[in-house]
Amino acid sequence: MDSRDTDWDGVRLHVVTGKGGTGKTTVAAALALALAAGGRKVLLVEVEGRQGIAQIFDRPPLPYEERRIAVAPDGGDVYALAVDPEEAMLEYMEMFYGMRTAGRALTKMGIVDFATTVAPGFRDVLVTGKTTEAVRRKGKNGRRVYDAVVLDAPPTGRVARFLNVTKEVAGLARVGPIKNHSDLVSGVLKSPETAVHFVTLLEEMPVQETLDGIAELRAAGLPQGGIFLNMVRESLLPQAVLDTAVKGGFDVAELTLGLKAAGLADGDDATKIAEALAEEVVEHARRTAIERGERASLAEAAVPQYELPLLADGVDLAGLYELAASIRTQGVA
């Protein structure tokens, strides 16, 4: 892979986690587009069986198969794959035991379902195994097939367990193919080729989960990536005005005069409008103050931070490319 002088040169597997609903799927998709820009090939992997990737790219549900899903800016391709643990298990059995047919029979008997449900560690290693296989895969020319793989991962609360496959599988198998497989997977996940990124909002709960998640990751020896502050709203007023408003010192009388002078309202109307506006200003000021506090907390994690704007019209395809452009500008990809 050519060097682009970005913050994550050398990283081939970008894992994206975060509190539920903070924008993991959105950021993973935008990151994949950004990484593919300029003629590269990137695989975007989803593991939760929710078809979030298909939805975000406005496509029908994805089969268990790598499919080209988008063209990146300046050429480049994003492929997508929705990993299905059952299919991954059949593939695995064929690879290690040459027993695809037997695997089908086991599926019919409900044993595959049983194994993937009863042993979540096994299920996880199948899914991460499929992902790391795509990272390592080489073409006939001896070069890696994908320049990068982006994984839309489970939320913060589950991600360390999900990625810490060796530990989870240790209870299932100490020797043999499952153990070897999990060691191989773990080798990729814990290498400098992997980075685990966190998506957060500037709110108390997601920030706390991010800090906890980073600590858990460090303890497990997994490589941390950056923090994506998502849905960031720009501050509308100067800091001095915000500071005064938080303390309850916003001058309604002055605003009333201002509205009258500008011919926007008069009489009692002007007062009512000014009071309503003042309430909004105080609310905005309070939220901004909280956001500053959350930023300070996040700074303690001492990892690179990136900001993505709140898109007023939600995330359509154009919005996704906008976020991808922002990701590139900030030197992520």
Ligand X SMILES: Nc1ncnc2c1ncn2[C@@H]1O[C@H](COP(=O)(O)OP(=O)(O)OP(=O)(O)O)[C@@H](O)[C@H]1O
Q: Which residues bind ligand X (CB under 6 A)?
A: 18, 20-26, 52, 155, 230-231, 308, 310-311, 314-315
> CA–CA separation, 270 vs 252, rounded Å?
10
Cα-based torsion angle of the residue sequence 149, 142, 73, 67 in order, rounded to the nearest 10 degrees = -60
Q: Candidates 45-53, 62-70, 140-148, 188-196 — which segment interacts with Mg ion by CB under 5 A? A: 45-53
Helices (H), 77-203: 85-97, 100-108, 111-118, 120-136, 156-163, 165-170, 177-189
Complex with ligand X: residue 120 or 157, whichever CB lies closer:
157
- From 172, 176, 94, select the one nearest 130 (Cα to Cα): 94
Residues 173-232 that bind Mg ion (CB under 5 A): none
Based on CB atoms, which residue is closest to ligand X, 50 or 218? 50
Q: Which residues pair with 198 in a beta bridge?
A: 17, 227
Determine the residue with CB nearest Mg ion. Answer: 25
Q: Does 256 bind Mg ion (CB under 5 A)?
A: no
Binding status of residue 22 toward Mg ion by CB under 5 A: no
Neighbours of 116 (CB within 10 A): 19
**Shortest separation between residue 83's beta carbon and Mg ion, angstroms:** 14
| Interface residue with Mg ion, options 18, 23, 52, 103 (CB under 5 A) | 52
Distance in angstroms (rounded) separating the CA atoms of residues 183 and 202: 37
* Candidates 22-30, 105-113, 157-165, 253-261; binding stretch for Mg ion (CB under 5 A): 22-30
Choose the one of ligand X, Mg ion, none that binds residue 224, judging by a C-beta under 5 to 8 angstroms depending on kind: none
Q: Whole-angstrom Cα distance, residue 180 to residue 159?
A: 22
- Positions touching Mg ion (CB under 5 A) are 24-25, 52
